[in-house]
Amino acid sequence: MNSFIKNKSSLRLGVALAIWISSTVSAFGQVSPTNPPPRPLLQPIVVQTDKNKTSQPTNNQSTNSSTPLVTKTGSSSPMSVAPRKTSFPVLADVAIPGYSGILVESMEGGIVLDSYSNFPFNPASNVKIATAYAVLKTFGPDYRFPTSFWTDGQLDTTTGTLIGNLYVSGRDPMFNSEHAIAVANELNRLGVHSVAGDLIVTDNFAMNYSTQAVASGNALLTTLNSARRSAAATRSWNNYLTNSKKSATMIPSVTISGGVYVQALPTNAKLVFSHESAPMREILKVTLCYSNNFLSERLGDMLGGPYAVARIVQLNGQIAPEEFYIQTSSGLGINRVTPRAMMKLLRTLRAELAKNKLNFTDVMPVAGIDKGTLEGRFDTDFARGSVVGKTGTLGQTDGGVSCLAGEIQTKNGKLLFVIFNNRGGVQRFRAFQNSLVSLIQGQMGGATPMTYIETALDVRLANTRITYPDTRSRVNEE
């Protein structure tokens, strides 16, 4: 590497670290507490205000987002003075737009392309790969989030009235309208059709992607009652029955005479049953396919927030802290990761998945097949299903960010890749990523699809169940 680059690398890392410490960003930049994001789970690209543009990596060149900072070898850009490392001569002269870092390796660790992989960049939603790994490592792929229903009262079987309060505890980030109706259906099965008391939820309860427990409690009370249930909730329930291949003999409904309150469970409350979410691997698959910020932040909070996510990644991936530091669990705002660190994370995640007889396709979107951010990319006849990965997009933060990382399937084997494009137009970056991946596949005999059987994301999420406290074997799958 050129001595100029060597002398400046530590300075740039220091500047980036100072920027990270001084910057602040809302953890829920795309989610309004009073207006949860609509379904489907795909959310709009966040556009940060101009004040965030001051927290960009520096490289001694104009910050005009249309100016390439890494161009063809031999150009006037100061970042181009260091030669790229590549095993294919054709890749040495490829023009790379923006302030960018790229690392492509064989599964054995051989370098296919390395361009500034030790420099920090904004990885945008590639941070979600870290959150997914940390959650998978902590909870395991088969973990289900319980939402438990308790009471301090007694059932009057002659009237079908629960005389007392109904309590709800749980932190399932995927608890939605269809699950509330499933709870009403289960209460009806037990003979409960009305509650002569209040609905009380704990402060970590969330429904329909709301961050406020009282709003979630009100949504639950309304959805339990068929007379007050929204048409959208009914449609969600009908879709749930279709996707889960379950059935209901009547329209589920439970009325509650009291109000909604947020408080801790009393000591005399008795557990009636728990609604359990789909397994963690399915939640991660949906989170990464749609790049959902609410789910990522919620999952990260369960571990202790972005700092805890970063420490799990750093320790298990043997990654230096200065190469991986994040402020959010979703990738919103100012985060800094080197392509080299992301490559280590991909390998660490791959190894963790393998321990559970899983692979990237079980938790990440397959391009051209799965719904979401990669649905319309690499979707031609010869490329469809040959790329599995995670996108990352920020409209204006750091001058415009687009990233892509994951696994490439070719006729001559698999490759792992990381592409971090900062300071430029998102569409231009995406076009570059598409062409670069295709070019690399061409050097490896061409693209070939991975072994992957598509399962609709709604079908994955419909794999929920009801469990009872008296015995774990008593499970209602209907």
**How confident is the model at residue 408, as a pLDDT?**
97
- The range of the structural domain enclosing residue 157 comes to 146-277
* Same-domain status, 153 and 124: no
Instruction: Provide the sign of the torsion angle of the four alpha carbons 10, 12, 16, 22, taken in this order.
Output: positive
**How confident is the model at residue 477, as a pLDDT?**
52
Domain-located, residue 450: no
Instruction: Return the closest-CA partner of residue 42 out of 27, 28, 30, 29.
Output: 30
* Same-domain status, 243 and 265: yes
Contact 195, 256 (CB under 8 A): yes
- Asked which of 10-19, 87-96, 298-307, 404-413 is least confident by mean pLDDT, the reply is 10-19
The average pLDDT across 22-44 equals 42
* Same-domain status, 286 and 398: yes
* Same-domain status, 13 and 91: yes
* Same-domain status, 273 and 287: no
Q: How confident is the model at residue 365 (pLDDT cuts 50, 70, 90)?
A: very high
**How confident is the model at residue 77, as a pLDDT?**
39
* Same-domain status, 272 and 289: no
* Same-domain status, 368 and 242: no
Q: How confident is the model at residue 82 (pLDDT cuts 50, 70, 90)?
A: low
Both tokens assigned to 301: 């909070």
Given a cut of 90, whether residue 387 has pLDDT beyond it is: yes
**How confident is the model at residue 382, as a pLDDT?**
85
Q: Residue 449 and residue 378: Cα distance in Å, rounded?
A: 11
Given a cut of 80, whether residue 471 has pLDDT beyond it is: no
**How confident is the model at residue 59, as a pLDDT?**
33
Looking at 277, 294, 313, which one is the last position of a domain? 277
- Asked which of 70-74, 346-350, 404-408 is least confident by mean pLDDT, the reply is 70-74
Q: What is the CATH number of the domain that holds 262?
A: 3.50.80.20
Domain-located, residue 465: no
**How confident is the model at residue 259, as a pLDDT?**
97
Given a cut of 80, whether residue 219 has pLDDT beyond it is: yes
**How confident is the model at residue 418, as a pLDDT?**
98
Instruction: Provide the sign of the torsion angle of the four alpha carbons 373, 374, 379, 384, taken in this order.
Output: negative
pLDDT tens profile 265-287? 999 999 999 999 999 999 999 99
Given a cut of 70, whether residue 99 has pLDDT beyond it is: yes
Domain-located, residue 374: yes
Domain-located, residue 454: no
Looking at 228, 249, 277, which one is the last position of a domain? 277
**How confident is the model at residue 470, as a pLDDT?**
77
**How confident is the model at residue 249, as a pLDDT?**
85
Q: How confident is the model at residue 381 (pLDDT cuts 50, 70, 90)?
A: confident
* Same-domain status, 94 and 182: no
Given a cut of 60, whether residue 476 has pLDDT beyond it is: no
Q: Residue 57 and residue 63: Cα distance in Å, rounded?
A: 9
Domain-located, residue 389: yes
* Same-domain status, 136 and 156: no
pLDDT tens profile 113-166? 999 999 999 999 999 999 999 999 999 999 999 999 999 999 999 999 999 999
Q: 3-state SS string over the chain?
A: CCHHHHHHHHHHHHHHHHHHHHCCCCCCCCCECCECCCCCCCCCCCCCCHHHHHCCCCCCCCCCCCCCCCCCCCCCCHHHHCCCEECCHHHHHCCCCCEEEEEEEECCCCEEEEECCCCCECCHHHHHHHHHHHHHHHHCCCCCCEEEEEECCEEECCCCEEECCEEEEECCCCCCHHHHHHHHHHHHHCCCCEEECCEEECCCCCCCCCCCHHHHHHHHHHHHCCCCCCHHHHHHHHHHHHHHCCCCCCCCCCEECCCEEECCCCCCCEEEEEEECCCHHHHHHHHHHHCCHHHHHHHHHCCCCHHHHHHHHHHHHCCCHHHEECCCCCCCCCCEECHHHHHHHHHHHHHHHHHCCCCHHHCCCECCCCCCCCCCCCCCCCCCCCEEEEEEEECCHHHCEEEEEEEEEECCEEEEEEEEEECCCHHHHHHHHHHHHHHHHHHCCCECCCCCCCCCHHHHHCCCEEECCCCCCCEECC
**How confident is the model at residue 84, as a pLDDT?**
85
**How confident is the model at residue 64, as a pLDDT?**
32
Pairing between β-strand 260-262 and β-strand 199-201 as defined by DSSP bridges: parallel
Q: What is the CATH number of the domain that holds 11?
A: 3.40.710.10
Given a cut of 80, whether residue 1 has pLDDT beyond it is: no
* Same-domain status, 235 and 303: no
CA distances from 224 to 279, 401, 411 (A): 24, 43, 53
Q: How confident is the model at residue 436 (pLDDT cuts 50, 70, 90)?
A: very high
Given a cut of 60, whether residue 26 has pLDDT beyond it is: no
Phi, psi for 347 (deg, rounded to 5) = -70, -40
Q: Residue 450 and residue 448: Cα distance in Å, rounded?
A: 7
Q: Residue 72 and residue 91: Cα distance in Å, rounded?
A: 10
* Same-domain status, 110 and 196: no
Report how many domains make up the chain: 2
Domain-located, residue 463: no
pLDDT tens profile 64-77? 333 333 333 333 33
**How confident is the model at residue 19, as a pLDDT?**
41
pTM, two decimals, is 0.83
Q: How confident is the model at residue 248 (pLDDT cuts 50, 70, 90)?
A: confident
- Asked which of 31-40, 386-395, 458-467 is least confident by mean pLDDT, the reply is 31-40
pLDDT tens profile 166-184? 999 999 999 999 999 999 9
Domain-located, residue 134: yes
* Same-domain status, 302 and 235: no
Q: Residue 220 and residue 168: Cα distance in Å, rounded?
A: 10
Q: Residue 225 and residue 306: Cα distance in Å, rounded?
A: 38
Q: What percent of the chain has pLDDT over 90?
A: 79
Average pLDDT score, the chain: 86
Looking at 245, 277, 309, which one is the last position of a domain? 277
